[in-house]
């Protein structure tokens, strides 16, 4: 996120306004994509066969399409004008740039959903190194493309596309890495259908029933940043000071997220090693990880976080 912000901050004219517009659009987009990242846990728990994987992917295709529709409505309809311009009390220039950036980000939830679904399946089979490599490749691709696009004509024509295209390229690298990892390591190993010994075949209803409470928690967490942006912008009356304050929040918020980001990942450890989970019988491992080991590991992560 810092690299993406750098892509906007490098603009010679209207850098503060661009950064504020991008920050408003990005925080709203993360609110839509946040619940989809928890579908990683659906892949981790429910996907035991090719048929289960097809159902999980179908759910995410529909979710991505719904998110894209909301993005389009906010970009073009009076609803978007009310949410961005009226509620935030921003001026016409910032509002139009924010809604345009939000439209550009419409396809990102779909790509993010596909990546997280396959990340969960890979984690289930203990391919966490591959998942980590995909995430690191995502970051590297974003940084590289920001550097490349800063030397293109986009800086003058459409500066908002610098971080957005870089974000898409990073997501494309991550999604491609995870999908190729699935097809190479897992697709030919898992059965076509889940038998009773693996807990039976998962249904779309089971997946959604398992997913929505987790999605609601993460959506509640992700809505905090748009709310902060809203209060700051309204409190300063949509003036230039409000635009500057939102731009500052955009630049500094990712730094504050660094010490506690591990909390969202630690949830995947227990279900991957739980011996009472029938679906884990599919994985042939001699691991002796227990609940005590996981607790100690969590306390070590917390100590490192507090140190940071």
Q: Are 50 and 187 in contact (CB under 8 A)?
A: yes
User: What are the residues whose beta carbons fall under 8 Å from the beta carbon of 74, sequence distance 6 or more?
Assistant: 28, 80, 83, 84, 99, 102
pLDDT tens, per residue, the chain with 308 residues:
777 777 676 666 677 888 888 888 888 888 877 778 788 888 888 888 888 889 988 988 888 888 889 889 988 888 888 888 787 777 788 888 889 888 999 889 888 888 988 998 998 888 889 999 999 999 999 989 888 888 877 766 788 888 899 999 999 999 999 999 999 999 888 888 876 666 667 788 888 888 888 888 888 878 888 888 888 887 776 667 778 888 888 888 777 777 777 887 787 788 777 766 655 555 545 557 788 888 899 999 899 888 88
pLDDT tens-digit series, residues 168-218: 999 999 999 999 999 999 988 888 887 666 666 778 888 888 888 888 888
pLDDT tens digits along 208-238: 888 888 888 888 878 888 888 888 887 776 6
- pLDDT at 178 (0 to 100): 94
pTM, two decimal places: 0.78
Residues 65-93 as b/e (b if ≥16 CB within 10 A, e otherwise) read eebbebbeebbeeeebbebbbeebbbeee
Q: Quote the Cα angle for 228-172-253, to 5°.
A: 20
Distance between CA 258 and CA 260 in Å, rounded?
6
The neighbour count for residue 224, using CB atoms within 10 Å, is 11
Query: How far, in Å, are 74, 94, 95 from residue 99 at the CA level?
Result: 7, 9, 6
* CA dist., res. 48 & res. 56, Å (int): 11
């Amino acid at each position: 996120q810092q690299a993406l912000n750098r892509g906007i901050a490098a603009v010679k004219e209207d850098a503060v306004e661009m950064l504020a517009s991008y920050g408003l659009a990005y925080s709203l987009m993360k609110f839509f994509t946040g619940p989809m990242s928890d579908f990683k846990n659906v892949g981790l728990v429910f996907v035991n066969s090719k048929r289960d994987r097809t159902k999980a992917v179908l759910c995410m295709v529909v979710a991505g399409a719904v998110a894209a529709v909301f993005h389009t409505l906010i970009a073009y309809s009076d609803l978007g004008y009310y949410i961005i311009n009226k509620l935030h009390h921003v001026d016409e220039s910032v509002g139009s740039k924010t809604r345009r950036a939000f439209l550009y980000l419409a396809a990102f939830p779909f790509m993010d959903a596909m990546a997280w679904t396959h990340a969960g399946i890979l984690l289930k089979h203990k391919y966490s190194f591959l998942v980590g490599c995909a995430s690191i490749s995502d970051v590297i691709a974003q940084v590289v493309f920001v550097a490349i696009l800063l030397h293109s004509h986009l800086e003058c024509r459409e500066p908002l596309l610098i971080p957005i295209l870089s974000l898409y390229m990073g997501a494309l690298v991550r999604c491609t890495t995870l999908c190729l990892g699935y097809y190479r390591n897992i697709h030919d190993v898992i059965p076509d259908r889940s038998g009773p010994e693996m807990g039976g075949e998962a249904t779309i209803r089971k997946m959604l029933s398992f997913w929505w409470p987790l999605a609601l928690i993460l959506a509640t967490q992700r809505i905090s940043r748009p709310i902060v942006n809203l209060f700051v912008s309204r409190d300063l009356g949509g003036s230039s000071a409000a635009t500057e304050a939102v731009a500052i929040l955009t630049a500094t918020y990712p730094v504050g997220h660094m010490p506690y980001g591990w909390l969202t990942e630690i949830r995947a450890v227990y279900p991957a090693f739980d011996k009472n989970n029938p679906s884990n019988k599919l994985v042939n491992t001699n691991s002796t990880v227990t609940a005590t080991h996981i607790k100690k590991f969590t306390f070590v992560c917390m100590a490192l976080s507090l140190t940071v």
